[in-house]
Structures are given as structure tokens and as C-alpha cells.
Amino acid sequence: MIYGNGFEYNKSMTITSPIFQSNEYLHERFTCDGQDKNPPLHIGEVPQTAKSLVLIVDDPDAPEGNFTHWLLWNISPETKEIDEGKNPDGSVEGKNGSGSVGYMGPCPPIGRAHHYQFKLFALDTVLDLAPGARQSEVESVIHKHILESAQLVGLYARSAIPR
């Protein structure tokens, strides 16, 4: 998988979930049709030289282009799990695509499945960004500091059938 700036994802660091495998469907409870809280995530094989982690969750299939669903930085490199519905201690949150801070679950238009990319980056620095920064701001400062990266993709589609 190639990142927007041409960066290729490495294979050693991992981001997984006990709830879904990559390219499988997310459970409805993690979406706007459910409880709208982040799924649990597991992090592995973080480089020993990492100073912080960044997590970007976005939807490249959104009608208006890429849509940010969750943005976290300055996650401790010792973090092994992100619990369901929680932020890692000490992390900083940015704005999602709706302009508010925090996780915003998948909520695609009715129809085809969208791909929700959980992108994890190990950095050689801690970011000096104010809370509420946008994805473009984070991406503009991390590209020169990426040691390793990993990606997990969850799918979600909404049905026209009322629940």
C-alpha cells in the first residue's frame, strides 16, 4: 500500500483488531448506526527508536474526497492496545472531517462499501501541534519523521433497509 506522499508501508510494525481482520466489515456498533465509538486496536513491533505514534483513520471513498474519522498523535510508543471507545493516555486528538475533535464512526451514503484506513506511524520525534489540528497539518509534519508504518482496513456499507 502506498501512502499519499509516495511512502510505502513497512511490514514489521503491526496494527490489528480483535474485532475485525483487515479488509473485513466493521461491526455496526463502531459506526454512526451503532454506538459510534472506536474499535479496540492492538499495536505490535514498534521500532525501539520510536519517540511517538500517530494514528490516522480516514475514508478515501467519501463523496467529497478523503474524510478524516479519527486523528491521534503523541501516542506513547509503549502503547500495545487502544481500548474500545478510549484514547491512549497522553495522546492528542485532532479534528475529524466534520470539524469536531474525536472519533467519528463510519457513516457512508447508502450503497457500496467504503474502506476505513487505520494508518499507524512510528515517528522519531514527538509532535509539537496544538490539539484540534487537521489531518493535512499532521501529515505535513510527519513525512520526514516516519520510521515505520502499518495499516488496517475496515469496510462498512449502509443498507437502504430500515433497522
Tens digit of each residue's pLDDT (9 = 90 or more) over 14-56:
999 999 999 999 999 999 999 999 999 999 999 999 999 999 9
Is residue 2 included in any domain, yes or no?
A: no
Is residue 6 included in any domain, yes or no?
A: no
Tens digit of each residue's pLDDT (9 = 90 or more) over 61-73:
998 889 999 999 9
Is residue 24 included in any domain, yes or no?
A: yes
Q: Is the pLDDT of residue 2 over 50?
A: no
Is residue 9 included in any domain, yes or no?
A: no
Q: 45: domain CATH number?
A: 3.90.280.10
Q: Which domain holds residue 87?
A: 14-156
Q: Which of 48, 34, 44 lies closest to 103 in space, CA to CA?
A: 34
Q: What pTM was estimated for this model as a whole?
A: 0.91
Is residue 8 included in any domain, yes or no?
A: no
Half-sphere exposure of 69 (CA within 13 A, CB side): 26
Tens digit of each residue's pLDDT (9 = 90 or more) over 86-125:
999 999 999 999 999 999 999 998 888 999 999 999 999 9
- Would strands 41-44 and 14-16 be described as parallel, antiparallel, or unpaired? antiparallel
Provide the pLDDT for residue 48: 94
Domain count, the chain: 1
Is residue 140 included in any domain, yes or no?
A: yes
How many other CB atoms are there within 10 angstroms of residue 126's CB atom? Answer: 14
The answer to whether the CB of 149 falls within 8 A of the CB of 13 is yes
